[in-house]
């Protein structure tokens, strides 16, 4: 998960936008919502 966080931080630095990543893991879809203000994980 740390790997994803690093990728998100790099992407966010370049774009300055909110990042939405949809990650499929073990038949579960995790919606990872990351903003500059705070890091929050929302699982659907």
Side by side, the strands of the sheet bearing 19-25 are: 19-25, 28-34, 39-43
pLDDT by residue for the chain (44 residues), tens digit each? 567 677 777 766 676 655 555 555 554 555 555 555 455 555 44
Predicted local confidence at residue 14, as pLDDT: 72
Predicted local confidence at residue 44, as pLDDT: 42
Residue 34's domain comprises 2-43
Predicted local confidence at residue 43, as pLDDT: 45
* Beta-carbon contacts of residue 17 (< 8 Å; ≥ 6 apart): none
Residue 22 β-bridge partners: 31
Total tally of structural domains belonging to the chain: 1
Measured from the Cβ of residue 1, the count of other Cβ atoms closer than 10 Å reads 10
């Amino acid at each position: 998960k740390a790997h994803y966080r690093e990728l998100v931080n790099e992407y966010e630095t370049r774009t300055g936008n909110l990042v939405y990543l949809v990650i499929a893991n073990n038949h579960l879809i995790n919606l990872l919502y990351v903003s500059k203000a705070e890091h929050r994980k929302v699982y659907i």
